[in-house]
A and B are shown apart, each in its own frame.
Chain A
């Protein structure tokens, strides 16, 4: 099956620093990628949708200047948490939707990134 690689799997950083998370579709081209956040014992919350070559669409309440999303190619999207604070500590998960012609009716998810801000 299609594989989505997400790195790093775990990161610890100091408050005020920025952290970049990468999401790669390894064997397919992803026209759309999604970023989710999940707090302990809660469900996944969609943060933003990114389409290759265009600006990301953020969900209500998600600060676009704090969570920078770049989808520069059909196989790579990055999420940068800028000026991270302890309340940003969470499990971040990316997902990718294949382009047309390759069973694009389902999403493939990365393994997630556990961010801990000290």
Chain B
């Protein structure tokens, strides 16, 4: 399975953009980049995913480098409620059985400060 590397923790000022990096240098051609976050004592929440093009939704933007070896999750205007552990995960999109599963690493603890 492809692995990801993320910083252990980051801080961001409220109202500013939070840019969370992720390295996935061994990503395979059929693997997507997923981002989830987990607020303390809750289940993970889906944020965004992409293959090779940049993606944007109501929560965040995902920038994937051309070689797909790294990506950045951008929260454009961080709020205190965005304080959470953010997980970057690579996984094949299609396929059933054991091919499709999300394996969580340690993630990045983002702390948004007032």
Determine if B49 and A106 form an interchain contact, defined as CB atoms under 8 angstroms apart: yes
- Which of B38, B44, B98 is packed against the most chain A CB atoms within 10 Å? B44
Q: Chain B's interface: helix, strand, loop or mixed, by majority? A: loop
What A residues does B105 contact at CB under 8 A? 43
Checking B34, B98, B104 against A44 with a beta-carbon cut-off of 8 angstroms, the contacting residue is B104
Determine if A106 and B46 form an interchain contact, defined as CB atoms under 8 angstroms apart: yes
Residue B102 at the A interface, CB < 8 A? yes
Give the complex CA separation of A38 and B100 in angstroms: 20
Determine if B43 and A46 form an interchain contact, defined as CB atoms under 8 angstroms apart: no
Give the complex CA separation of A108 and B96 in angstroms: 16
CB distance from A1 to the nearest CB of B (A): 8
Determine if A111 and B42 form an interchain contact, defined as CB atoms under 8 angstroms apart: yes
C-beta contact mask, A1-45 vs B, less than 8 Å → 1, else 0? 000101000000000000000000000000110101000000111
Residue A109 at the B interface, CB < 8 A? yes
The A83-111 residues at the B interface (CB cut-off 8 A) are: 91, 93, 95, 97, 105-111
What B residues does A51 contact at CB under 8 A? 96-97
Determine if B43 and A93 form an interchain contact, defined as CB atoms under 8 angstroms apart: yes
Checking A43, A91, A108 against B104 with a beta-carbon cut-off of 8 angstroms, the contacting residue is A43
Total B residues in contact with A, Cβ cutoff 8 Å: 24
- Which of A91, A95, A107, A114 is packed against the most chain B CB atoms within 10 Å? A107
Residue of B nearest to A93 (CB): B43
The A37-60 residues at the B interface (CB cut-off 8 A) are: 43-46, 49, 51, 57
Q: 19 new A-B pairs (CB below 8 Å) besides A57-B98, A105-B93?
A: A32-B96, A32-B100, A43-B104, A43-B106, A44-B38, A44-B44, A45-B104, A49-B97, A91-B41, A93-B43, A93-B44, A106-B34, A107-B102, A108-B46, A109-B45, A111-B42, A112-B41, A112-B42, A112-B43
Question: Could you pull out 10 A-B pairs where Cβ atoms are within 8 angstroms?
Answer: A4-B43, A34-B102, A44-B38, A93-B43, A105-B32, A110-B43, A111-B43, A112-B41, A112-B43, A114-B41
Per CB-CB distance, the 5 closest pairs between chain A and chain B, nearest first, are A109-B43, A44-B104, A43-B104, A109-B44, A106-B46
